[in-house]
Amino acid sequence: MPGGRLTQQERQEIALGLADGLAYAEIARRLDRPTSTITREVMRNGGPTAYRADLAHRATEHRAHRRRQAAPRGPKEAPETHGRDAESVREYEELLTTVMMASGMPKMMSRVMVCLTITDSGSLTASELVERLQVSPPSISKAIAFLESQGFVRRERDERRRDRYIVDDDIWYRSMMASARSTAHVVETARQGVGILGPGTPAATRLENIARFLDFVSESLARAADQAREVLYTKPDAPSDGTS
């Protein structure tokens, strides 16, 4: 399987594959590349509907140039444990960050969120985040403030009275419930419009249908989150020691 950076020809093949509606896995198979490589390439260069081979190639060259210039102060990589391959972890961190950005989370917030998520402890101090991501303290502070406001991280004091920022087991449940509440608010507002625009009119009917649809979705989301919440606390099976 070939390694190294994608060539301009390969990026053109990716663009053609996207235009033909091919799945990332199929494009990867045709190029003899990992699916993760294609996913990362597309998501960090505009997504499947906006990907352009020429712009993606120039952007990659620009990123490579910046990395060469910044090489003397590159990110500090913590020693890997559990037999992990450091390069694979770094690539996965970049992929997950790109996917979170595509979901709507700003870049620095995505980087901090991913950095915390893939840390075994699930917690880091501001100075540790600065060191790992090689960004300024104000950037970390701004990102943490956003993530706290969205319920994605929480803070607590450690034994040295330092603030530690934590991604705990319940954050995705809280996020789903917040999304359900937000959708329910849209439902309520849409139904207010029905009375204002006049029941039975085309506009009011449209709003009522939107409200009914979103009402069903928000209730289903909240119910599913409650039912699945315990999954977030499931511990992995202990590794086998080879004995029966």
CA angle at 128 for the pair 176 and 233, rounded to the nearest 5°: 35
CB neighbour list of residue 112: distance below 8 Å, 6 or more residues apart: 129, 133, 140, 143, 144, 147, 153, 165
Radius of gyration of the chain (CA): 23
125 phi/psi in degrees, rounded to 5: -85, 170
33 contacts 2 by C-beta, under 8 angstroms: yes
Whole-number Å distance between alpha carbons of 34 and 6: 11
pLDDT tens, per residue, the chain with 244 residues: 455 788 889 999 998 998 888 888 899 999 999 888 888 888 878 788 888 888 888 877 766 665 555 544 444 555 556 777 888 888 888 888 888 888 788 889 999 999 999 998 889 999 999 999 999 999 999 999 999 888 889 888 888 888 899 998 888 888 888 888 889 999 999 999 999 999 999 999 999 999 999 999 999 989 999 999 988 888 766 555 555 4
**What tokens appear for 197 in the block?**
């625009």
Per-residue pLDDT at 80: 58
218 contacts 180 by C-beta, under 8 angstroms: yes
Our CA dihedral for 75, 7, 99, 137, rounded to 10 degrees, sits at 20
> CA-CA distances (angstroms) from residue 128 to 77, 81, 164, 190?
11, 17, 10, 45
Q: Say if pTM beats, i.e. exceeds, 0.75.
A: no
Q: Which of 147, 70, 73 is nearest to 107 (CA)?
A: 147
Whole-number Å distance between alpha carbons of 215 and 237: 38
For the chain, how many residues are written?
244
Other Cβ atoms less than 10 A from the Cβ of 162: the count is 13
